[in-house]
Homo-oligomer: A and B are copies of this chain.
């Protein structure tokens, strides 16, 4: 709570970007929300691109760490997949997209630094998911045909798309139905 201004700015910026996109927010928006001047925001993040890159790096760290936590807290690979799905449901509860999903749409308009960081985010997800899928298949918890890597890619894409479409309808329900649907499709019978 008693966080410094930098984190406060990043928090506000992240919320706005995840709701409206990187090209639809300004330093003035942030300044108003954190109760400071635009110049003060520039003091902490010289350019919008700087701010954007820090945003992606922080978000990636947080999410990959959460996925590490899932690994520590659970042994069942089905439950790991369920917990992964829960992250997306959580985003939808705040009517937000994944930061990197939103930025993927705007990808061509972003700095090279940001573009690279966004791709790394998705890479991290795919590696994690592939590992869960392989382990789950091996111990009989999960069932699927074909390449685990392709499934991992498909799962990431599908969740991102589910957020995208569900957000336009402001439908938490739609998101949670999808999440159950997808997780269930990997459950061994």
Of A39-47, A65-73, A115-123, A133-141, which stretch is located at the interface?
A115-123
If the complex has contacts A21-B21, A105-B105, are A181 and B154 also in contact, measured as CB distance less than 8 A?
yes
Q: Which of B20, B101, B166 contacts A164 (CB 8 A)?
A: B101
Question: Are A165 and B169 neighbours in the complex by a CB distance under 8 Å?
Answer: no
Question: Are B174 and A165 neighbours in the complex by a CB distance under 8 Å?
Answer: no
Which parts of A132-173 form the interface with B (CB within 8 Å)? 146, 150-151, 153-154, 156-169
A67 smallest CB distance to B (angstroms): 17
Question: Are A122 and B24 neighbours in the complex by a CB distance under 8 Å?
Answer: no
Q: Which of B21, B146, B168, B181 contacts A122 (CB 8 A)?
A: B168
Which one of A146, A154, A157, A158 has the highest number of Cβ atoms from chain B below 10 Å of its Cβ? A157
Contacts of A167 in B (CB 8 A): 104-105, 107
Residues of A within 8 A of B (CB): 19-21, 23-24, 97, 101-102, 104-109, 115, 118-119, 122, 146, 150-151, 153-154, 156-169, 174, 177-178, 181-182
Question: Can you pick out 10 interface pairs between chain A and chain B where the beta carbons lie within 8 Å of each other?
Answer: A20-B109, A104-B165, A105-B106, A119-B169, A122-B169, A150-B178, A153-B178, A154-B181, A157-B166, A157-B178
